Structure 1
Amino acid sequence: MDNVMSKIRSLDTYPKINEDFYSRTLSGGVITLASSIVMFLLFISELRLYLYTVTETQLLVDTSRGETLRINFDVTFPALPCSILSLDAMDISGEQHLDVKHDIVKKRLDTHGNVIEERQDGIGAPKIEKPLQRHGGRLEHNETYCGSCYGAEVSDDDCCNSCDEVRELYRKKGWALSNPDSIDQCKREGFLQRIKDEEGEGCNIYGFLEVNKVAGNFHFAPGQSFHQSGVHVHDLLVFQKDSFNVSHKINKLAFGGYFPGVVNPLDRVQWTQETPSGMYQYFLKVVPTVYTDVRGHTIQSNQFSVTEHFRSAEVGLLQSLPGVFFFYDLSPIKVTFAEEHISFLHFLTNVCAIVGGVFTVSGILDSFIYHGQRAIKKKMEIGKFS
């Protein structure tokens, strides 16, 4: 019978745990406590990753067509009055927006940067009393006002009832308005007087442009712009100045809306002009960007990189137009950011890996310390009896 039982025991393929592993030691307790703390901290870290979102980034070819690009800007010119500052935009498709006034607000600033007046550009012109009619007489009570365009009218029915309308037709003709006082509308509105009154002031101009999503440029420059022999020029004769200080501070410049993590490299950039005249140029590479938050809300925006260049120029040349120019080009690559939650299965797998890994490492460390202590103890006992 004992022989049979011995043979059955020999078939046991499950080795039993050594009795040494049942021993409780101080080092084992310390390691258990330390490993529990490590597991708890790693679990909290993994739980935070699970509860919060992660952002996935992808690069795609931009296949969008026929879209527009919104340019938000806020620029301060401490040495250019609002009355002489104009904004133009043009692109490679041939579309031009000269002397832009819609969606633009200007703030007159004193020498200390304090706001004197704030108004939307093109609004608030002085009321004209008894202006000169197109036929040469003064406006009577029973007449409708129709001012002369001083040779710039396209048809006999054209009327110019303000200085801006005369200047606009002159611009379309490619003519320079050298003496505004010779224009009744400009004289009555005090066009030159307003320029003299604002001498020494600065200007803060902000708003947005809606342009085609193609390469182009926009610029801030003194004088009203027009085309002459295919060349873009600004009428500077009326100001009778040899140079213009285009020192500026870009408070904000963004292509599209804000999204989390966006960095606009020109925000709060400031530049001071040292030479009498010149053109400051920014060359921008715009990268279309789509940001999708965890709720599925999508923000169409853009990021951009920039290089800068100042071109000093000789006074009086058409090629030496003073101003601040922004030349932008579109990247064919689109960046997409998508907020996502880590899946629960991924979280559970990581937790199991943390528990298993910590138990394995702590077990190895405890075994090493325990057997090391036993070996030292045996050597001490052998030395005692020898």
Structure 2
Amino acid sequence: MENLFNKLRNFDAYPKINEDFYSRTLSGGVITLASSIFMILLFISELRLYLHEVPETKLEVDTSRGETLRINFDVTFPALPCSILSLDAMDVSGEQHLDVKHDIIKKRIDANGNAIESRQDGISAPKVEKLLQRHGGRLDHNETYCGSCYGAEVSEEDCFNSCEEVREAYRKIGWGMSNPDLIDQCKREGFLQRIKDEGGEGCNLYGFLEVNKVAGNFHFAPGKSFQKENVHVHDLLAFQKDSFNISHRVNRLAFGAYFPGATNPLDGVEWVQKSPHGMYQYFIKVVPTIYTEINGHSIQTNQLSVTEHFRGSELGRPQTLPGVFFFYDLSPIKVTFVEQHVSFLHFLTNVCAIIGGMSSFHCLIKLKVNDLIRSFSQTFNILT
């Protein structure tokens, strides 16, 4: 048995050194103290990493089909009134949503950015009770008003009792309204006067869009939009203005829900128009993302990358539509984040590495310092 113990004793890789062969020094104490503090800091950092969830990232091909994309936005136009702003959305599949009003709030703001009024479906004009009949004259007792649409009606029985209804009928057949004062409904509602009264105001639009999960665009622009010879145009003649200031600030723009660590590159972006005409374009690459929390709950959302471009009116080219356009395209690669805890064995391995590494570093530094002190002492003795 004693022979067995002697053999085991020979396997000792760290034999003890007799106290007669080592000494304690001031420099060694300073180095030991500094190494211990650094070791404790590394241990605390590793412990925090072990106690918190760490997301693991994977890339894979996005094979999802038939899903929709939710676009959350909050955009402020300091120099465009709410009454002339409209929102359109369209995609490569041919689906169009013109003059979107559902799930959207328009907030009128003054020149200082203070809120004046906030309503859903935009700022609509009040209904006018006393209007002329379709063929002129006054309304008889118990007779209802039926306004004319000046050639834009589909049938003789169609009634248009507000300026907004007439403008919508014009839009559907691809007509522009050159002079609202020639439309009885618009004249009595004070369409042009309301636009003049809102001069100097701005507009804050916020809400969300539900679109197909395909490439497309949505844009904010003045006037009603319509299709004319397969071209998307806006009726700007009704406002009787030569230029529109499309300076804007993107307070928030997100394609999907928020997830931990998400950053939206357009949040807080501001642009000021310096030329009289042009459109501002954002080209967005949408990366599908799935974030799975430690409890198993998954968040299906998206990440963004953006490039910007201003397209002005140049000689030899037709005047561009004033507005702010967001063109988006989807990446075929999907990013998945899965929260998970660091295993205890991994934590233990890192702690051992910290202790072993700092011990080796401590010994090396101590040897180097002792050599320097010894060399300095020898040099000093020779000089003296």
Equivalent in the alignment of 1:329: 329
**1:160-180 Cα distance to aligned partner (Å, 9 max, x none):** 232222211111100111222
Retained in 2: the 8 A contact 1:75–1:250? yes
Retained in 1: the 8 A contact 2:83–2:124? no
1:55–1:334 distance in 2 versus 1, CA, 3 Å: same
1:196 aligns with 2:196: yes
**1:46-78 Cα distance to aligned partner (Å, 9 max, x none):** 221110111111111111111111111122222
Equivalent in the alignment of 1:149: 149
- Report the Cα offset of residue 236 of structure 1: 1.1
What residue ranges of structure 1 are gaps of 5+ in the alignment? 1-7, 377-386
Equivalent in the alignment of 2:248: 248
1:26 aligns with 2:21: no
Retained in 2: the 8 A contact 1:279–1:322? yes
Equivalent residues, number: 368
**1:213-262 Cα distance to aligned partner (Å, 9 max, x none):** 11111111111111111111111111122211211121222111222222
Does the residue aligned with 2:82 lie in a helix, a strand or coil? coil
Q: Supply the distance in 1 between the matched residues of 2:190 and 2:354 (Cα, whole angstroms).
A: 79
Amino acid corresponding to residue 206 of structure 1 in structure 2: Y
TM-score (norm: length of structure 2): 0.84
1:163 aligns with 2:183: no
Match runs of 1:216-227 below 5 Å: 216-227=216-227
Larger radius of gyration: 1
1:315–1:99 distance in 2 versus 1, CA, 3 Å: farther
**1:115-157 Cα distance to aligned partner (Å, 9 max, x none):** 2222223465312213334465544552444433332222344
Amino acid corresponding to residue 24 of structure 2 in structure 1: L
Q: Supply the distance in 2 between the matched residues of 1:317 and 1:135 (Cα, whole angstroms).
A: 44
Does the residue aligned with 1:320 lie in a helix, a strand or coil? coil
Equivalent in the alignment of 1:121: 121
Q: Supply the distance in 2 between the matched residues of 1:190 and 1:107 (Cα, whole angstroms).
A: 21
Retained in 2: the 8 A contact 1:107–1:116? yes
Retained in 1: the 8 A contact 2:56–2:337? yes
Equivalent in the alignment of 1:44: 44
Amino acid corresponding to residue 255 of structure 1 in structure 2: F
- Report the Cα offset of residue 34 of structure 1: 6.3
Larger mean CA deviation between 262-271 and 116-125 belongs to 116-125
Q: Supply the distance in 1 between the matched residues of 2:331 and 2:130 (Cα, whole angstroms).
A: 55
Does the residue aligned with 2:234 lie in a helix, a strand or coil? strand
Larger mean CA deviation between 139-148 and 266-275 belongs to 139-148
Equivalent in the alignment of 2:206: 206
Does the residue aligned with 1:187 lie in a helix, a strand or coil? helix
Q: Supply the distance in 2 between the matched residues of 1:124 and 1:212 (Cα, whole angstroms).
A: 29
TM-score (norm: length of structure 1): 0.83
- Report the Cα offset of residue 91 of structure 1: 0.7
**1:293-323 Cα distance to aligned partner (Å, 9 max, x none):** 2222222211111111112116998652111
Amino acid corresponding to residue 277 of structure 1 in structure 2: H
Q: Supply the distance in 2 between the matched residues of 1:26 and 1:294 (Cα, whole angstroms).
A: 50
Larger mean CA deviation between 308-317 and 233-242 belongs to 308-317
Amino acid corresponding to residue 166 of structure 1 in structure 2: V
1:309 aligns with 2:286: no
**1:254-305 Cα distance to aligned partner (Å, 9 max, x none):** 1112222222222211212121111111111111111222222222211111
- Report the Cα offset of residue 98 of structure 1: 0.9
1:71 aligns with 2:71: yes
Retained in 2: the 8 A contact 1:277–1:314? no
